[in-house]
Chain A
């Protein structure tokens, strides 16, 4: 047995999967079952007591989902992972392990709009208080730290404009504060950025986007980097203290550097319940097998489209970190040298009306509220997702009336450019 290190594409195809012992099936079977038979009473007790590795009930674990979990853990360079029903479910499960009512977490102001809503409203009702900081101003994170701070949350490539976050700089703040840094790596995928290599302690994804990649299945995942000492300072009792749910087991002591993933499974997923369907896990696994191929094509297409738009007379500005002139280009070269992702925004000289007109004239781009599909997608935030805000608020959130967001697919770039050209031209 050699200790040779396989490459990313090999892991994308193989990690976590092996032929089925019973049937020899080479593709990962869809274990579409709620529950699993115990060998005997002792086996059942061992599983319920977390003493043995195995399956009990699909809300806690499922063999198809387990392949997905190990594969993403391997691609991100983490110790373990937990798949859940959506990216939003991943965030609630992660923070449930870290925060008690009255605690705080610091979040980057530039986030997916759904995350901003979840943090500002749903989590507030749990007593988890978000404190916003500006990812372009690292000192704003330092200033936000208080004794009640339990975590820092950022996106590696941030919504909506595809800006690049200085992950290492913010991880220094997190280490100094003695709290874990959580990185939402959805828009980058581990093909472009592996946040654990830059100091992340926990990585979350909406699998719905580039990892699944085909716009057909919702899913989310939590990756444990295995880097954080949960026992220090007694700040994280879900991990460091005896758990009454399991007759006094201390999870960190028992599970070492994958204790956080276990806590998410046996305390979070078990009790909150957002389990991923094994069918969705299968669809997402199939998507991940081609992640390196797709992601490179997404990025190459996005760069070509951004360059085209930057030279078009109807366009006043393009925000794409892959362009040499972009303010995030240095960070993109450091963190995402293979490509700056495929989600970005641009502004139209014709303002709101030009945005509405563009969306209605496009023939290949689909007008919808998702990103990270094989298909190219477009949305005009001012007339859709952000339509309830006044103009000042729209501009502040990067969704001014003249802003259009694209998620570039894996079609032929010439066809995408031709579609934009005809829609912008007339």
Chain B
């Protein structure tokens, strides 16, 4: 997988297929990005599991925190890692000990570890890096268009009137370019600078 630019179909197939998501580094502080994403994905119907050893015994929006992936005690489809790039590898290594293996490992916006991605992919796990599942869900459903964001999708279909907590259709026509090209350039600029 080219981790600089994901085809929409790749992201779409992941968000359409996974049901349970363990979020490593989920924060109960309601201005943290992990809290935003956890709440949004729970509202869109995903079975969310907060993983954070610092908050065991408490819960996040009604879901009890667990200390580690091994403590979940049931299969999970996707692991969403809200940690800096330097803390990714141990989480991926722990994920690789799970039975059954997760289908997807997702690293949050700003997080990227190519060696960890390679390990996970070698075990047949799909990997997404440096993206936010909330933003991608909002983009592919075009819900994010309320914020003036370029969803890079088109549709001439009449969508259902939205109600609270509903799953949204992600099956819109994808428009290439846009922020994919811009992000690529940004990533390139960044790596040239460092």
Contact = CB atoms under 8 A, between A and B. Distances in A.
A46 B38 CA distance: 13
Nearest to A194: B177
Interface stretch (A88-96, A110-118, A245-253, A342-350): A245-253
B189 interface: yes
Interface residues of A, number: 66
A21 B146 contact: no
A278 interface: no
What is the interface residue range for chain B against chain A? 35 or more
Contacts of A21: 158-162
Interface in A73-126: 73-74, 77-83
A74 B110 contact: no
Given A18-B142, A18-B157, A79-B182, A51 B39 contact: yes
A19 B156 contact: yes
B149 A227 contact: no
A254 B33 contact: yes
A83 B148 contact: yes
A305 B2 CA distance: 50
Contact of A253 (B110, B158, B183): B110
Counting chain A CB atoms within 10 Å of each CB, the highest count among B35, B154, B178 belongs to B178
A6 B175 contact: yes
A258 interface: yes
Contact of B148 (A82, A228, A256): A82
B143 A53 contact: yes
B12 interface: yes
Contacts of A196: 182
A57 to B, nearest CB: 13
A11 B110 CA distance: 30
Given A66-B146, A66-B147, A14 B154 contact: yes
A316 interface: no
Given A15-B154, A51-B39, A249 B182 contact: no
A73 B149 CA distance: 7
B31 A265 contact: no
Given A21-B161, A70-B145, A83-B148, A229 B154 contact: no
B160 to A, nearest CB: 6
A37 interface: no
Contacts of A258: 147, 149-150, 179
Interface string B152-194: 1011111111101000000111111111011101100110010
A52 interface: yes
A18 B9 CA distance: 21
B149 A79 contact: yes
A14 B182 contact: no
A166 interface: no
Contacts of A256: 109-110, 132, 135
A415 interface: no
Given A256-B110, A258-B149, A1 B9 contact: yes
Counting chain A CB atoms within 10 Å of each CB, the highest count among B157, B162, B175, B189 belongs to B175
Nearest to B173: A1
A73 B148 contact: yes
A79 B179 contact: yes
Contacts of A18: 142, 154-159
B30 A43 contact: no
Contacts of A228: 186
Interface string A5-37: 110001100111011111010000000000000
Interface in B28-79: 30-31, 33, 35-36, 39-40
A346 to B, nearest CB: 38
Given A70-B149, A82-B148, A256-B109, A51 B40 contact: yes
Contact of B176 (A3, A65, A247): A3
A261 interface: yes
A151 B158 CA distance: 42
B190 A229 contact: yes
A70 B186 contact: no
B3 to A, nearest CB: 15
A388 interface: no
A69 interface: yes
A226 B149 CA distance: 11
Interface of B: 7-9, 12, 30-31, 33, 35-36, 39-40, 109-110, 132, 135, 138, 142-152, 154-162, 164, 171-179, 181-183, 185-186, 189-190, 193
24 contacts: A1-B8, A1-B12, A3-B176, A4-B173, A14-B154, A18-B154, A18-B155, A18-B159, A21-B159, A21-B160, A46-B39, A51-B35, A61-B146, A73-B148, A74-B150, A78-B150, A80-B149, A82-B148, A197-B181, A227-B186, A229-B186, A256-B110, A256-B135, A257-B186
